[in-house]
Structure formats: C-alpha cells, structure tokens
Amino acid sequence: MRMVLKARIPTETGNEVIRNGGLPKIMESALAALKPEAAYFTLDDGERTAFFYFDMQESWQMPTLLESFFMDLNAQVSLQPVMNADDLRTGLGELMSGT
C-alpha cells in the first residue's frame, strides 16, 4: 500500500545532528530502507520536515521503517495511506459502478 511518512524534526535535535555530521547518513539510510517513489524536504511549523511516499507491504514493517526517526532524530512521525491519480480513478470507478 502506498503510504506517506511525515517526519518533523525538532530544531534542537536537527541542529545537533547537522553539527555532528549525522543528518546525511540518517537520511541516506531512510532513503535506502524506504525506497520512496518521492521524497520532499521542507519546513512545517518552523521545523525541518521530510515527506516520503513509499510502498509498505505489511504493517509489521512499521518498527523497522520508523524507529530511526524516533530514536535518531526525536522526530514527530505520522504515517498514512495515500493514493496517486491512477488509484483515485480506479477507486472512483469502483464507487460509481456500484461494486
């Protein structure tokens, strides 16, 4: 299932991992683990924030995919299913067909 992971990094923690050189390694590890179809980095409510759009096959994958954001970045993490345009078309087609 296609998911979006949002990881919001507190400023103090972000500053620390940038100063010690850890942020590039943490993000590269996340990219390797998630294999996202897209990843975006921005600010959310004044804090460094990353969005990863990726495919999660099973719910048991959550600990292995998310724990580094909690442990290494003290991040506020959210995870939710999302659709792309093709998924929406398919879903609406099913809805409209009455099945």
- Alpha-carbon distance of 79 to 53, in angstroms, equals 10
Residue 32: in which H helix or E strand, if any? helix 23-34
pLDDT digits (tens, 9 = 90+) for 37-55: 999 999 999 999 999 999 9
Half-sphere CA count of 27, side-chain side, radius 13 A: 19
Task: State the pTM of this model.
Answer: 0.91
pLDDT digits (tens, 9 = 90+) for 49-93: 999 999 999 999 999 999 999 999 999 999 999 999 999 999 999
pLDDT digits (tens, 9 = 90+) for 29-38: 999 999 999 9
